Structure 1
């Protein structure tokens, strides 16, 4: 068995040496070579009868490396079992002796490693007397009415208006475009019918069309008709030209209005409520307004909690100034990540260290509050996520059995499971912290709340602590 010698440098750093003698690996080496002998079929020898000397010469170094690696890994794992607070992975010490791996050598093999430890600390800053601002936003009655109106428009279908009605903002217009040269129709020029949306048109074109009716005409530069449209898109989508058609097109066109359609708000009947909110969920305008307020409040609460969580993070990190084995961690990052250079690690290390410190504090908080996530909660989280994908109005299309089966399949995705675990722990953690501290509620508009989130994200992106109001 390999000999392990540990040396404590300081509370955050440990070095250890693994000595592997010939006797430690000889038995395993002979056993592996015998396996090779049974399987080897070399020219001039019957299968299983190859001389051991020939096998040692041909495969000895390869088998020795494998056996020594296994012995070394056993020893390293033994050290890690005895060091529950290790961080990262062991890395070769800078003064480790050069390895001379030779199947014919009788010298002992010596490996030296460095290992970092997490700091041992008592959590500070959970005093109940500390106060945090808690920004709250609510959807006003007027905003809820505006959102309901938007849904009535969004779910509506265009309706053709009477020919004697004036064009209004937001209308959909079908026109026939005629190519002109010098103010007259071009001989063998383009004549093509297409549809345009008032909201997509250049401002000056919109102003010219407002008040026009079916049968009226306007003259435009076809390539400047819409905002943010390329010449290729004009030729293809407005003029109906194939990509192979390379004819020169005059910019001057006369557009004659053939039809005007308008999207009118849907009537608030049961068909509308079922389509937008789900079958038999809402039956009146009052219920729709109440539902919208409640749904938006969920989103606002998530955003408010994110801002509060950020403030508490900053406070707890100030109260718990943790030292890390910085030199070890920088070396470990360079060795463990192929694309990491010393320069890049130096540049990014503060972000990494800040995130690591918060992880250590967060783990302490989870243990302090005795938080846990049950399998049932995890599965319910997947079900809720899938329901959000399909939307409230399609909820009736998914039976509970279908949702449960889909959740079971998603539970086999390790990455997704870890993400949901972290989200659930964070949700429970923020709730525990809200009950710990005094919150001074401050009402803001939804727009102000969103601005605060964006400002916080901009500040924290450089520091490794990024908010996400969707979490």
Structure 2
């Protein structure tokens, strides 16, 4: 057997595999002899079928199968030994006059080669790394939400602006008949709010659905209708009041602090605000990091330029899917996937050049930290090491979970690398400012 490579250019090559009769004949003969021992052919006793008949019936199929096995093994070994970094898989070239009745065979394969390039991590401008701050307004709103959550409802006779009003929305034509509770904080417009203020149990209020709630999702919930039905809905509904309650806020005292964070961990309103601020900013950090990862990905794609074996990749896409594609379909698929392929190559180079590969021990430790974080949410702050080891072992026995956690860990490693090596500028913003700047 002989294997040779013709380099067409930096990104394309042809590999030729020459297979001679002596490379496969011994294995083919052995298989055919085994077939002869077990073949059941009418007119012949088992094991006494003439070899010529066995070869005539099975010889071509066995030959093709063994040559293809030999070919694939040799090609894979060659690519590994020569350290050829290929894109996709080798594509066999069509051979019009190929003859399986010959003794010697020659096969040609097209290769698409990965480009050589240097990663350009930094462009001219520094990338913004947002530090999201929980401002006083956000902290105060969170405290108010907590007070409502741990407060109590007090029944009333007459509705006022901040009350909760239970009742039933009805529109016979649209078959709406839904009992619900309305918070007047969610009602939109003074005219609508005024219809509720002063209402008593048993009163019937007539309302227009258009512009009734500040959020369209609240309309969907209140009327129990679909999102499609809620879109541009402009009908008249009645609301029959069945109950009026005032939400009394919980006192900001030690009893509430202990319910929230455990005995003695928070002792004053100032402590509470600090704790809420810390917890919020810890959650914001995840969003900030994800935005930074996205920004650096776009930046490195823009600044790292290299060519790809486009024609080869389009042909590979055209022929290797579940269903063959036309040239135009393959071209469209390539254009959709090109950006992702480029980043895979860039990411792979960063990982290899900086030894960022994930080891099993790192994966296990990362999984244990994820488990500890989840257990802490349910009040288990000090799990035993053996318990963590057992849970991690069960999780890591699932290949889908291994893949998911490995991707998380790799993203974290890349993020840490980018933070240390990319040109960054830190900008402090509120959460609302972050949303406006990033998502516009």
Q: Does 1:380 align with 2:397?
A: no
> For residues 389 and 254 of structure 2, what CA distance do their matches in structure 1 show?
30
> For residues 45 and 271 of structure 2, what CA distance do their matches in structure 1 show?
87
Q: Does 1:227 align with 2:230?
A: no
Contact 1:136 1:443 survives alignment (8 Å):
yes
Deviations 1:234-263 (A, max 9, x none): 9xxxxxxxxxxxxxxxx99783x4433455
Please point out which of 182, 185, 192 is paired with 1:197.
Answer: 182
Please point out which of 109, 115, 124 is paired with 2:111.
Answer: 115
2:220 partner SS: coil
Deviations 1:40-64 (A, max 9, x none): 4445544444443443344334323
Please point out which of 286, 304, 319 is paired with 1:320.
Answer: 304
Please point out which of 419, 423, 429 is paired with 1:444.
Answer: 429
1:119 partner SS: coil
In the other structure, the counterpart of 1:147 is 142
| Unaligned residue ranges in structure 1 (runs of 5+) | 181-191, 235-250, 456-471
- Kindly state the Cα deviation for residue 217 of structure 1 after the two structures are TM-superposed: 1.8
> For residues 108 and 364 of structure 1, what CA distance do their matches in structure 2 show?
41
In the other structure, the counterpart of 1:240 is none
66-75 or 416-425, which deviates more: 416-425
Contact 1:179 1:254 survives alignment (8 Å):
no
In the other structure, the counterpart of 1:67 is 66
> For residues 336 and 396 of structure 2, what CA distance do their matches in structure 1 show?
32
Contact 1:89 1:332 survives alignment (8 Å):
yes
| Unaligned residue ranges in structure 2 (runs of 5+) | 213-217, 227-235
Contact 1:17 1:112 survives alignment (8 Å):
yes
Please point out which of 110, 120, 127 is paired with 1:132.
Answer: 127
Please point out which of 235, 260, 271 is paired with 2:244.
Answer: 260
In the other structure, the counterpart of 2:414 is 429
In the other structure, the counterpart of 2:92 is 92
Equivalence map 1:145-184=2 (5 Å): 145-153=140-148, 155-156=149-150, 159=153, 161-169=154-162, 171-173=164-166
Q: Does 1:302 align with 2:297?
A: no
1:228 partner SS: helix
RMSD: 4.0
> For residues 326 and 371 of structure 2, what CA distance do their matches in structure 1 show?
41
Contact 1:303 1:453 survives alignment (8 Å):
no
In the other structure, the counterpart of 2:377 is 392
Q: Does 1:289 align with 2:289?
A: no
- Kindly state the Cα deviation for residue 194 of structure 1 after the two structures are TM-superposed: 4.7
- Distance change (3 Å), C-alpha of 1:312 and 1:281: farther
Equivalence map 1:226-245=2 (5 Å): 227-228=219-220
In the other structure, the counterpart of 1:338 is 322
In the other structure, the counterpart of 2:12 is 13
> For residues 173 and 34 of structure 1, what CA distance do their matches in structure 2 show?
87
- Distance change (3 Å), C-alpha of 1:424 and 1:170: farther
Q: TM-score if structure 2 supplies the norm length?
A: 0.77
- Kindly state the Cα deviation for residue 72 of structure 1 after the two structures are TM-superposed: 1.1
Contact 2:86 2:111 survives alignment (8 Å):
yes
- Distance change (3 Å), C-alpha of 1:56 and 1:445: same
Contact 1:136 1:304 survives alignment (8 Å):
yes
- Distance change (3 Å), C-alpha of 1:65 and 1:139: same
Deviations 1:211-250 (A, max 9, x none): 223x44215589999933799979xxxxxxxxxxxxxxxx
- Kindly state the Cα deviation for residue 69 of structure 1 after the two structures are TM-superposed: 1.8
Contact 2:372 2:381 survives alignment (8 Å):
no
Deviations 1:405-447 (A, max 9, x none): 3322221233432333333233233323323344332222212
2:198 partner SS: coil
Question: How many residues matched?
Answer: 416
> For residues 243 and 355 of structure 2, what CA distance do their matches in structure 1 show?
67
Q: Does 1:419 align with 2:417?
A: no
> For residues 22 and 171 of structure 2, what CA distance do their matches in structure 1 show?
94
In the other structure, the counterpart of 1:463 is none
Contact 1:13 1:325 survives alignment (8 Å):
yes
In the other structure, the counterpart of 2:230 is none
- Kindly state the Cα deviation for residue 170 of structure 1 after the two structures are TM-superposed: 5.6
